[in-house]
């Protein structure tokens, strides 16, 4: 039997005799061309390529493809674009519907043609289908699953056995928080003995320490994340800050992030309620550490999360977080000590958390410094190296 771990470690060449190892990556991403769920696996893929391991990627076709896919292709990976499910993309407008290849058939063809020795299936959301699983099981190709986010949304009973089989037969199912693992086990109504928690890479220095901003009488919070009401919950900031007590307080929230379909609504709501001096749209920031040189803390009213990188990065930059008890937040934030947790994403509970934070605003700097120390005790300093090693080890076929 081929042993992927020993092949990769053997002079870094990835060979066994004359046969070269190949690792496949299948991403379920469909909401946008690229996102935070894609960072971990793509960085691991680059590291495999650097070690002369072949990589093949199955990813949804986008008219404006993410540059990260081009970077992988340039590094030597083969990229298999799946059809646009809407059939609006130009390759499919020119094809008779009878001749369109189903996603399942496409994935089977990808596996048959590429013959990967190991496959990582990345699910951006817990209800995304583990499409390659049936074919991988049939061909006895080992695979793992990486679930990047989970919510309270329930799996349909008709899909239960298919999902159970996919998860049970995986060598490992990686989650980014214990809360997400618990949610998926509840959805499947089984215990996942093959589950593990991993860290996602972050976009600040491990020893980041931006200067504390001058408040000049005004406290400034950043809300960092794509503008997407369903997941990030920025719409909740409107009924929160339109209350008279918050209008009367010297507090400003700036939203950093691209739109995932809701920026126009956010702009309209800000204008409708006259909140321009309290909520501002700042767009996408290339340098995350620069944000924290001008803001005193994070507010993130998420309805669901996996492990919010905004929280990790905020704490690494020695700032407090005011957020909801979803995803990994409860594992990282100590309520009242390093931040403030709302029990759920409701206006009333967010108001209570923000009010508690406001009463302790004189302590935000020292609380942020404590947050910086705590996050470095609870989160890995090199998530890519850690996950790379786990993928290598999983390829060891017993």
* pLDDT tens sequence across 30-41: 878 788 889 999
- Within 13 A of 363's CA, how many CA atoms are on the CB side? 14
The angle formed by the CA atoms of residues 319, 196 and 3, to the nearest 5 degrees, is: 125
Q: Work out the burial of residue 359: count CB atoms within 10 Å of its CB; fewer than 13 is exposed, 13-18 middle, 19 or more buried.
A: exposed
Question: Residue 322 is inside which H or E element, if any?
Answer: strand 320-324
Task: Write down the mean pLDDT value for the chain.
Answer: 90
Contacts (Cβ under 8 Å, ≥6 apart) of 154? 187
Question: How does pLDDT run across 66-122, given as a tens digit for each residue?
Answer: 889 899 999 999 999 987 544 445 454 555 444 456 888 889 999 999 999 999 999
pLDDT of residue 12 exceeding 70: no
Please provide residue 272's backbone torsions phi and psi, each rounded to the nearest 5 degrees.
-60, -40
Position 102 scores a pLDDT of 81
> Tokens representing 35?
């996102």
| DSSP-assigned states of every residue in 2-19 | -BHHHHHHSTT--EETTE
Question: How does pLDDT run across 219-261, given as a tens digit for each residue?
Answer: 999 999 999 999 999 999 999 999 999 999 999 999 999 998 8
Task: State the average pLDDT over residues 276-303.
Answer: 96
pLDDT of residue 18 exceeding 90: no
Neighbours of 390 (CB within 10 A): 16
Could you give the CA distance from residue 359 to residue 354 in angstroms, rounded to a whole number?
9
Question: Residue 44 is inside which H or E element, if any?
Answer: helix 39-50
Could you give the CA distance from residue 207 to residue 316 in angstroms, rounded to a whole number?
7
> Among the residues of 189-243, which ranges form H helices?
229-232, 237-241
Q: Could you give the domains of the chain?
A: 4-199+381-394 (3.40.50.2000), 219-378 (3.40.50.2000)
Residue 61 pairs in a beta bridge with none
Could you give the CA distance from residue 91 to residue 84 in angstroms, rounded to a whole number?
9
What are the Cα distances from residue 322, in Å, to 131, 335, 342? 37, 9, 8
What whole-number percentage of the chain has pLDDT above 70? 90
Neighbours of 377 (CB within 10 A): 6
């Amino acid at each position: 039997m081929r042993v992927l771990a020993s092949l990769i470690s053997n002079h870094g060449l990835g060979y066994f005799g004359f046969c070269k190892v190949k690792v496949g990556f299948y991403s379920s991403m469909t909401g946008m061309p690229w996102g935070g769920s894609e960072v971990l696996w793509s960085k691991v893929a680059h590291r495999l390529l650097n070690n002369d391991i072949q990589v093949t990627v199955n990813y949804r076709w986008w008219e404006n493809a993410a540059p990260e896919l081009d970077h992988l292709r340039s590094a030597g990976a083969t990229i298999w674009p799946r059809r646009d499910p809407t059939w609006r993309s130009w390759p499919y407008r020119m094809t008779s519907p009878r001749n369109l290849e189903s996603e399942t058939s496409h994935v089977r063809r990808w596996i048959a043609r590429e013959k990967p020795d190991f496959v990582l299936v990345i699910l951006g959301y817990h209800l995304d289908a583990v499409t390659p699983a049936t074919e991988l099981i049939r061909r006895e190709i080992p695979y793992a699953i990486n679930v990047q986010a989970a919510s309270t949304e329930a799996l349909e009973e008709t899909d239960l056995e298919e999902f159970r089989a996919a998860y049970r037969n995986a060598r490992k199912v990686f989650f980014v928080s214990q809360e997400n693992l618990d949610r998926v086990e509840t959805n499947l109504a089984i215990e996942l003995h093959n589950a593990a928690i991993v860290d996602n890479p972050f976009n600040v220095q491990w020893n980041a320490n931006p200067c504390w901003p001058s408040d000049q009488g005004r406290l400034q919070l950043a809300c960092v994340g794509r503008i997407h009401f369903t997941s990030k919950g920025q719409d909740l900031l409107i009924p929160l800050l339109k209350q008279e007590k918050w209008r009367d307080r010297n507090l400003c929230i700036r939203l950093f992030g691209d739109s995932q379909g809701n920026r126009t609504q956010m702009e309209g709501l800000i204008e409708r309620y006259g909140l321009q001096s309290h909520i501002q749209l700042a767009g996408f920031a290339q340098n995350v550490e620069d944000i924290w040189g001008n803001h005193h803390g994070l507010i993130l009213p998420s309805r669901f999360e996996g492990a919010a990188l905004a929280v990790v990065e905020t704490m690494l930059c020695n700032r407090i977080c005011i957020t909801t008890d979803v995803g990994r937040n409860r594992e990282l934030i100590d309520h009242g000590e390093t931040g403030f947790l709302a029990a759920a994403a409701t206006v009333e509970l967010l108001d209570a958390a923000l009010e508690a934070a406001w009463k302790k605003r004189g302590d935000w700097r020292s609380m942020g410094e404590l947050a910086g120390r705590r996050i470095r005790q609870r989160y890995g300093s090199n998530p890519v190296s850690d996950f790379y090693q786990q993928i290598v080890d999983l390829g060891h076929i017993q």
